[in-house]
Amino acid sequence: MTLLQAATTVRHNAYAPYSRFKVGAAIRAASGAIYTGVNVENVAYPEGTCAEAGAIAAMVAAGETVIAEVCVIADSPEPVPPCGGCRQKIAEFAGPDVMVTLCTTDGKSRSMSVAALLPGRFDASHMARS
């Protein structure tokens, strides 16, 4: 199964009754295994979680911490880039050259590296004096 197929399939399970914007995410980890996630909204709006966060949680729960590739899909006019928080979450487990492919349900896509998504990322080196 391709990452796009996995993200497309899982997207149908997104719980998005408030925004009506369903998002699916799929991660290929270092082992080659695919982990998926969807956005899960909440009536207390800030408690909702993004699809990327769900896929990362599934990956870590399975014992993996290295992302090789990411695919995100939503029904939007143009490929939707991950939110700021998800960029930082992806960067925790992905090197700067890892590719993130953003897709629409009608077939548009755009690929960006993690470095391009999150220039100037905060990382452990910034805490060197702590």
Among all residues, which ones are annotated catalytic? Answer: 52
**Spatial CB neighbours of 80, under 8 Å, sequence gap ≥ 6:** 23, 72, 74, 102, 104
Residue 86 in contact with ligand THU, rule: CB under 6 A: yes
Residue 98's φ and ψ, nearest 5 degrees, are -65, 135
Q: Give the shortest CB-24-to-ligand THU separation in angstroms.
A: 9
Would you say 20 or 129 has its CB closer to ligand THU? Answer: 20
CB of 69 to ligand THU, least distance (A): 16
Residue pair 89/122 in contact (Cβ under 8 Å)? The answer is: no
Site membership for ligand THU, residue 105 (CB under 6 A): no
Q: 34 vs 100, which CB is nearer to ligand THU?
A: 100
Stretch that binds ligand THU, among 5-13, 49-57, 58-66, 110-118 (CB under 6 A): 49-57
Distance separating alpha carbons of residues 43 and 46, to the nearest angstrom: 9
Radius of gyration of the chain (CA): 14
Q: Does 103 bind ligand THU (CB under 6 A)?
A: no
Query: Binding ligand THU by CB under 6 A: which of 4, 57, 60, 80?
Result: 80
Give the count of residues interacting with ligand THU (CB under 6 A): 15
- Nearest-CA neighbor of 67 among 37, 88, 98? 98
